[in-house]
Amino acid sequence: MKRAVYVAAAGVIMTSIAAYAADGVGVYVNGRLIPQTGYLEDGTTYVPLRAVSEALGAEVEWDGENAHVTMNEDTLVADIASDISESVVAIVGNYRGAGSNTASEYNESTAHGTGVVIKSNGIILTNAHVVEDIENITVIFNDGTSCGAYVQYIDEDADLATVKISRLGLKPVVFAAEGSARSGNTVIAVGTPLSLNMRNSITKGIISGIDVSVNGAMYPLIQTDAAINSGNSGGPLVNLKGEVVGINSSKYAGLGVEGMAFSIPVETIDYVLAQFEKNGKVMRPDIGVSFDESWEARIGLPTSKGITVKNSQSDNLKNGDIVTSVNGVAVHSIVDYNKAIRDTFTGELSVTYTRNGQETTESVEYELK
């Protein structure tokens, strides 16, 4: 006698297929429609335990009357990697001035990196440093097909760019919700390390830290111990839901340094892409000053100190003023300042600063650049 175990669905996205009828209710798990349908009873949707568990990468074994559900991470990671590989590409081009050879010849004057499809009409996201110094760009898909591309938008400060190809019907990646990445989450990195014959290589690790400040980075980054090498730049960092939590961008390398890679988080990606779409570039408010950080901020110690104004061309702020918040957000480092503007600027810029022991909050003048 066949037995079916049904559980009230939780943590999955439900959607009806047409009207409720004999066809039942379609169930999506992490964005994928599972083969089995559920049913509605007293306002609750019930779905087969085995179908949901296996869709999440679990193994289900029967022991007489009972079902034992065991999560198999190997299967889950392999399924996620297989699914997202369709949306991950290698990007290759000639260094500017290296000659007239096309990128598709892959000679010694070429450079390569990775990108992810973000729109089905041929828009691909990558790092700015992958494409800023190359021409004759070619995008190579996981199945080996290739297509010429050009840089659409680029922002060196955030290290993000989009390239465009003439191809429709592509499969875009799904981005995780802002703020959903947590230290300790398992993630996988997908990219093209070292050589083009290593396209869509997979490495696995965890998120080691979030909101990490790195020298030279304008905004906070995600730190991960997933192995990233030259050529991985521009590729996705993916959670176990198959969602992109970041774009891999850099790593620390050197004697005694291991597992120190960094990714641009969704918060910065969303901000930059919205600016690209609205303005064709990222427009940032320039208040006509530069800043010095406290020695604590420079070495990464927690501090309540603000940032000190220098080289001021502002009518509001003078050299030596200490800025402590922007639009109500406390700032203790230059990265904090940039992040506050990223997250709060909508046309007004209110700055709290201390001058000669007196704290003042006022709107400051700025120029969009």
Q: Which residues are part of the catalytic machinery?
A: 129, 159, 233
Q: How far apart are CA 285 and CA 170, in angstroms?
A: 35
Q: Both tokens of residue 270?
A: 């969303």
* Tokens 């799904």 found at: 174
Q: Could you tell me whether strands 134-140 and 88-95 are parallel, antiparallel, or unpaired per DSSP bridges?
A: antiparallel
Residue 100: which residues within 8 A CB-CB, separation 6 or more?
none
Residue 205 pairs in a beta bridge with 187
Both structure tokens of 236: 């996705």
Q: Which CA distances in Å does 331 have to 70, 249, 259, 343, 361?
A: 46, 25, 29, 12, 14
How far apart, in whole angstroms, are the C-alpha atoms of residue 276 and residue 129? 17
What's the rounded Cα separation, in Å, for the pair 296 and 281? 34
Q: In angstroms, rounded to a whole number, what is the distance separating the alpha carbons of residues 202 and 85?
A: 10
Residues in the chain: 369
State the CB neighbour count (10 A cutoff) for residue 296: 14
